[in-house]
Structure 1
């Protein structure tokens, strides 16, 4: 399955998302804000299939993170999430570098579906499908 970096400043949401995606077999690492996530991406040399990040966070928000990370790691798929309409509008001009924006609050099924769609778009043929 995929290696995913979940970046969220709210402990409860970060834990919920990490547990949900772990149920699907993904390997999850977490970060508390954009600066922490960027440090993790650099330390791991971008070795993630997906960056799932909240938009509104202290230190470095998800939009700044996306703008910083994508040029350094062009193969990284980025999925943002937000509970604020104005933040979603800020992300509209990022269509070239992000896959989508997930609206909060979301259910377990909705976040799993959004992540699945982002990964499917990034990796249309899984290694298992190619071998079949």
Structure 2
């Protein structure tokens, strides 16, 4: 299965989504904000199959994180989660964007999107 980096500033959301993705056999690492996510990616030299990131977070938001990822690891696929439809335009410039999950979404919706992306 896939190796996924999940970045979200809400600990309860991270924990819930991590457990749900692990049920499908994925290996999931987590980070609490974009800056921490970038640190994890740098330490692992981008060795993930999917970056799953929220948009609105302190320090470094998910779109800025995604742009940094695109520049450094252009093959790393990105799935964005957001409750703000205005973020679509900011995300459209990402070449490696696999999709945008609009909140609220179900765990089933997420698992289905991840299965579609990672095969």
Secondary structure, aligned partner of 1:4:
strand
Q: Does 1:55 align with 2:55?
A: yes
Matches of 2:12 and 2:103, distance apart in 1: 13
Matched residues in 1 for 2:74 and 2:93: separation? 17
- Kept in 2, the 8 Å contact 1:78–1:97? The answer is yes
Q: Post-superposition shift, 1:47? A: 0.8
In the TM superposition, residue 112 of structure 1 has moved relative to its aligned partner by 0.2
CA distance in 2, matches of 1:50, 1:17: 14
RMSD of aligned alpha carbons: 1.1
Higher helix share: 1
CA apart distance, 1:99: 1.0
TM-score normalised per structure 1: 0.86
CA deviation map 1:20-63 (0-9, x unaligned): 10000000100001100001000001110000000111100010
Q: How many residues align?
A: 119
Q: Per-residue deviation at 1:14?
A: 0.8
1:113 is aligned to: 112
Return the alpha-carbon distance in structure 2 between the equivalents of residues 19 and 60 of structure 1: 24
Does the 8 Å contact 2:79/2:99 carry over to 1?
yes
Partner SS for 1:99: strand
Inter-partner Cα distance in structure 1 for 2:41 and 2:49: 11
Higher Rg of the two aligned structures? 1
**1:92 Cα deviation after fit:** 2.7
Return 80-89 or 99-108, whichever deviates more.
80-89
The answer on 1:90 being equivalent to 2:90 is yes
Q: 1:72-126 CA distances to partner (integer Å, 9 max, x unpaired)?
A: 11221111110111223322333x2311111111111101011111213xxxxxx
> What pairs up with 1:1-132 in 2 under 5 angstroms?
1-94=1-94, 96-120=95-119
- The answer for unaligned runs of 5 or more in structure 1 is 121-132
